Amino acid sequence: MARAHQFAQDALQLLVSLDSSWYNSAPGSRECLESMGAVVSGVSLAGTDLATVIYHNPLDGEPSPGPRGDEASIRRNRHSHAKPRVTESLDNAAHQLEVAAVACRYTATTVEQAHTRLVDSRERRARNAPPAKLSTAQWAALRAIAQGGVHVRKSLSGRITWIKATDGTRIIQPTLDVLEKHRLVQVDTRPPPHRERPITLTARGRQALYQRDRPGGNEAPAVNPPHPGPGKSR
């Protein structure tokens, strides 16, 4: 019974998370969220059925002081009356849990399919996106990241302390900020911030390099406006 109530709590948390995530706006999400709501309801009802089993299960304690009858006969009678009620409640709990298991599998499959469609859609948009406007240094950083071996380390406050590339390419924080802003690279957030985190290309970043390297795809890099030198200010 305790496990059923824990299952209901976990299912409720998952329902809340799905309802407040990107999945809420995915086509067909309404039916899936309703299915997850049915899981919460079904598992909660199963917990109630199991509690009913405990209620009807005869506990053979000692009777109150006073005249006593045939205790063996009384116990047989109590067990005889409890058995059909206990059996019915157990059958109901098993049915509710079976239905909840089917709904869970449906929810998992539906969410996975929606996520696959989302990823495919993003990759198509990345392939069709125009080449990024980057400076020479930013293109060099993107190529270094494409080759692998680029890591970043941050302080506990989230400030970048250093960026290291194994091929020796110098990458500074503003360069990385631009690449992240254009969604060309992503930093692996699984390691703790104070440890080295690898930087990899996104699908958009791979497409940007492909478009730049193909014949006729080498656009002029973005150039920062020159700063007036001494004696040239207006």
Return the pLDDT at 225.
38
Return the pLDDT at 228.
42
42 with 151, same domain: the answer is no
Return the pLDDT at 216.
54
Q: What is the pTM of this model?
A: 0.48
38 with 16, same domain: the answer is yes
Poorest-pLDDT segment among 42-56, 94-108, 143-157, 172-186: 143-157
- Write the pLDDT tens digit of every residue in 161-191: 778 888 888 888 899 889 988 889 998 878 7
48 with 119, same domain: the answer is yes
186 with 92, same domain: the answer is no
35 with 145, same domain: the answer is no
Residue 234: pLDDT band by 50, 70, 90 thresholds? very low
Q: Is the pLDDT of residue 218 over 60?
A: no
Q: Is residue 220 assigned to a domain?
A: no
What domain count does the chain have? 2
Q: Is residue 65 assigned to a domain?
A: no
Count CB neighbours of 201 within 10 A: 21
50 with 97, same domain: the answer is yes
Return the pLDDT at 58.
81
121 with 9, same domain: the answer is yes
49 with 140, same domain: the answer is no
Q: Is residue 228 assigned to a domain?
A: no
- Write the pLDDT tens digit of every residue in 109-164: 999 998 888 888 877 776 666 556 888 899 999 999 998 888 888 776 667 777 88
Tokens of 147: 């080759």
112 with 141, same domain: the answer is no
Mention every residue, 6+ apart, whose C-beta is less than 8 A from residue 30: none
Place of tokens 């080498």: 218
Return the pLDDT at 2.
82
53 with 94, same domain: the answer is yes
Return the pLDDT at 131.
57
Q: How many CA atoms lie within 13 A of 178 on its CB side?
A: 16
Q: What range does the domain containing 21 cover?
A: 2-58+75-128
10 with 119, same domain: the answer is yes
81 with 46, same domain: the answer is yes
How far apart (Å, rounded) are the C-alpha atoms in residues 210 and 152? 25
